[in-house]
Structure 1
Amino acid sequence: MKGIVEERAAMLGEYIIESKATVRSTAKKFGVSKSTVHKDVSQRLKVLNPALYRQVRKILDTNKSERHIRGGLATKNKYLQKKASESEKS
Protein backbone atom coordinates (compact mmCIF):
# COMPACT_ATOMS: atom_id res chain seq x y z
CA MET A 1 0.00 0.00 0.00
CA LYS A 2 2.86 2.38 0.80
CA GLY A 3 4.19 2.37 -2.78
CA ILE A 4 0.79 3.19 -4.25
CA VAL A 5 0.45 6.34 -2.15
CA GLU A 6 3.93 7.50 -3.11
CA GLU A 7 3.26 6.89 -6.81
CA ARG A 8 -0.03 8.75 -6.56
CA ALA A 9 1.68 11.74 -4.93
CA ALA A 10 4.19 11.91 -7.77
CA MET A 11 1.46 11.52 -10.43
CA LEU A 12 -0.63 14.26 -8.86
CA GLY A 13 2.37 16.58 -8.66
CA GLU A 14 3.33 15.97 -12.28
CA TYR A 15 -0.25 16.55 -13.43
CA ILE A 16 -0.47 19.85 -11.54
CA ILE A 17 2.78 21.02 -13.10
CA GLU A 18 1.88 19.96 -16.65
CA SER A 19 -1.60 21.42 -16.66
CA LYS A 20 -1.22 24.18 -14.04
CA ALA A 21 -4.29 22.61 -12.46
CA THR A 22 -5.99 23.51 -9.22
CA VAL A 23 -6.34 21.08 -6.33
CA ARG A 24 -10.06 20.79 -7.08
CA SER A 25 -9.62 19.98 -10.77
CA THR A 26 -6.82 17.52 -9.98
CA ALA A 27 -9.01 15.75 -7.44
CA LYS A 28 -11.82 15.49 -9.98
CA LYS A 29 -9.48 14.16 -12.69
CA PHE A 30 -8.00 11.42 -10.45
CA GLY A 31 -11.20 10.58 -8.56
CA VAL A 32 -9.85 11.40 -5.10
CA SER A 33 -10.80 14.03 -2.55
CA LYS A 34 -9.33 17.53 -2.41
CA SER A 35 -7.91 16.66 1.01
CA THR A 36 -6.05 13.70 -0.45
CA VAL A 37 -4.57 15.78 -3.26
CA HIS A 38 -3.55 18.52 -0.87
CA LYS A 39 -1.95 16.09 1.59
CA ASP A 40 -0.14 14.21 -1.16
CA VAL A 41 1.35 17.29 -2.83
CA SER A 42 2.04 19.36 0.27
CA GLN A 43 3.24 16.78 2.80
CA ARG A 44 4.15 13.50 1.12
CA LEU A 45 5.75 15.03 -1.97
CA LYS A 46 7.89 17.31 0.19
CA VAL A 47 9.60 14.22 1.63
CA LEU A 48 9.57 12.02 -1.49
CA ASN A 49 10.67 14.51 -4.15
CA PRO A 50 11.62 17.99 -2.89
CA ALA A 51 12.36 19.34 -6.38
CA LEU A 52 8.92 18.34 -7.67
CA TYR A 53 7.36 19.70 -4.48
CA ARG A 54 8.89 23.15 -5.06
CA GLN A 55 7.50 23.29 -8.60
CA VAL A 56 4.04 22.24 -7.43
CA ARG A 57 4.17 24.73 -4.56
CA LYS A 58 4.77 27.61 -7.01
CA ILE A 59 1.70 26.66 -9.04
CA LEU A 60 -0.46 26.19 -5.96
CA ASP A 61 0.66 29.56 -4.59
CA THR A 62 -0.23 31.19 -7.91
CA ASN A 63 -3.65 29.49 -7.88
CA LYS A 64 -4.21 30.68 -4.33
CA SER A 65 -3.35 34.26 -5.21
CA GLU A 66 -5.77 34.19 -8.17
CA ARG A 67 -8.70 32.40 -6.56
CA HIS A 68 -10.54 35.56 -5.53
CA ILE A 69 -10.51 36.65 -9.16
CA ARG A 70 -11.87 33.30 -10.35
CA GLY A 71 -14.55 33.41 -7.67
CA GLY A 72 -15.62 36.88 -8.75
CA LEU A 73 -15.82 35.84 -12.39
CA ALA A 74 -17.86 32.76 -11.50
CA THR A 75 -20.32 34.90 -9.53
CA LYS A 76 -20.52 37.42 -12.37
CA ASN A 77 -21.27 34.66 -14.88
CA LYS A 78 -23.87 33.14 -12.57
CA TYR A 79 -25.84 36.37 -12.42
CA LEU A 80 -25.42 37.08 -16.13
CA GLN A 81 -26.88 33.66 -16.91
CA LYS A 82 -29.70 34.22 -14.44
CA LYS A 83 -30.48 37.58 -16.03
CA ALA A 84 -30.41 36.06 -19.53
CA SER A 85 -32.78 33.26 -18.57
CA GLU A 86 -35.18 35.73 -16.96
CA SER A 87 -35.22 37.90 -20.08
CA GLU A 88 -35.97 34.83 -22.24
CA LYS A 89 -39.03 34.09 -20.09
CA SER A 90 -40.38 37.61 -20.58
Structure 2
Amino acid sequence: MKDYIEERAVEIAEYIIETKATVRQTAKRFGVSKSTVHIDVTKEEFL
Protein backbone atom coordinates (compact mmCIF):
# COMPACT_ATOMS: atom_id res chain seq x y z
CA MET A 1 0.00 0.00 0.00
CA LYS A 2 2.80 2.44 0.80
CA ASP A 3 4.19 2.03 -2.74
CA TYR A 4 0.86 3.13 -4.19
CA ILE A 5 0.79 6.23 -1.99
CA GLU A 6 4.34 7.14 -2.96
CA GLU A 7 3.54 6.71 -6.67
CA ARG A 8 0.44 8.87 -6.27
CA ALA A 9 2.48 11.55 -4.48
CA VAL A 10 4.96 11.67 -7.36
CA GLU A 11 2.18 11.79 -9.96
CA ILE A 12 0.42 14.58 -8.08
CA ALA A 13 3.62 16.61 -7.71
CA GLU A 14 4.46 16.22 -11.40
CA TYR A 15 0.91 17.21 -12.37
CA ILE A 16 1.02 20.36 -10.22
CA ILE A 17 4.43 21.37 -11.61
CA GLU A 18 3.53 20.72 -15.26
CA THR A 19 0.06 22.30 -15.22
CA LYS A 20 0.44 24.84 -12.39
CA ALA A 21 -2.83 23.44 -11.06
CA THR A 22 -4.26 24.42 -7.70
CA VAL A 23 -4.75 21.94 -4.88
CA ARG A 24 -8.49 21.96 -5.59
CA GLN A 25 -7.97 21.25 -9.31
CA THR A 26 -5.48 18.51 -8.52
CA ALA A 27 -7.78 16.86 -6.00
CA LYS A 28 -10.59 16.80 -8.56
CA ARG A 29 -8.30 15.37 -11.26
CA PHE A 30 -7.05 12.53 -9.04
CA GLY A 31 -10.33 11.89 -7.23
CA VAL A 32 -8.92 12.57 -3.77
CA SER A 33 -9.53 15.22 -1.12
CA LYS A 34 -7.67 18.51 -0.91
CA SER A 35 -6.19 17.27 2.37
CA THR A 36 -4.79 14.19 0.64
CA VAL A 37 -3.13 16.33 -2.03
CA HIS A 38 -1.60 18.55 0.63
CA ILE A 39 -0.34 15.60 2.68
CA ASP A 40 1.07 13.84 -0.38
CA VAL A 41 3.12 16.82 -1.55
CA THR A 42 4.35 17.95 1.87
CA LYS A 43 5.13 14.68 3.64
CA GLU A 44 8.90 14.40 4.09
CA GLU A 45 9.14 10.66 3.58
CA PHE A 46 8.03 11.15 -0.04
CA LEU A 47 10.46 13.99 -0.76
**TM-score (structure 2 length as normaliser):** 0.92
Runs of 4+ residues deviating >6 angstroms: none
- CA RMSD of the aligned region, Å? 0.9
Query: 2:40·2:46 contact (CA, 8 Å) conserved in 1?
Result: no
Q: Corresponding residue for 2:46?
A: 48
Structure 2 residues without counterparts, runs of 5 or longer: none
Q: Corresponding residue for 1:38?
A: 38
Q: Corresponding residue for 1:14?
A: 14
The offset of 1:42, in angstroms, is 1.0
Structure 1 residues without counterparts, runs of 5 or longer: 50-90
SS in 1 for 2:21: coil
Q: Which structure carries more helix by proportion?
A: 1
**TM-score (structure 1 length as normaliser):** 0.50
The offset of 1:21, in angstroms, is 0.4
Q: Which has the larger radius of gyration?
A: 1
